[in-house]
Amino acid sequence: MPSQQMTTYACQKCGWSDFHSVNKCPRCAGNVAQSTLAGVGKIATFTAIRYPPRGFENQAPYLVAIVDIDNGPRVIGRVSGSPEQATIGSRVTLTSYKEGVLEFQLSG
């Protein structure tokens, strides 16, 4: 499955980066450059939600992970796939990015 592209913003002075649009770096007030990255990365850590909050009962179990985007920021998002298949270091691909919500798919 091809990944969706992700627009990111990185400080040219201190290296801070994120996918939320900013005019100046929130860390050092340096200039920020916009770039586009392929939405692929690896899981830094994750949790399997087996006892979800009200309204999400029919979606359990599901994964929420911190993902290190290749050459980009560290982000948090939902990962589709079997919780038993996920490991730290698993490769993921961005499949959806709507209203600030990131959704990934386990690769392979």
Per-residue pLDDT tens over the stretch 50-95: 999 999 889 889 899 999 999 888 999 999 988 889 999 999 999 9
- pTM value? 0.81
Contacts of 15 (CB under 8 A, 6+ apart): none
Cα 16 to Cα 26: distance, rounded to the nearest angstrom: 8
Q: Give the tens place of pLDDT for each residue, 1-40.
A: 566 888 888 898 998 888 888 889 999 999 999 988 888 9
Contacts of 7 (CB under 8 A, 6+ apart): 19, 21, 34, 35, 36
Confidence of residue 100 (pLDDT cuts 50, 70, 90): confident
Q: Which of 37, 65, 94, 64 is nearest to 107 (CA)?
A: 94
Structural domains of the chain in order of their starting residue, each with its CATH number: 5-106 (2.40.50.840)
Residue type (1 letter), 4: Q
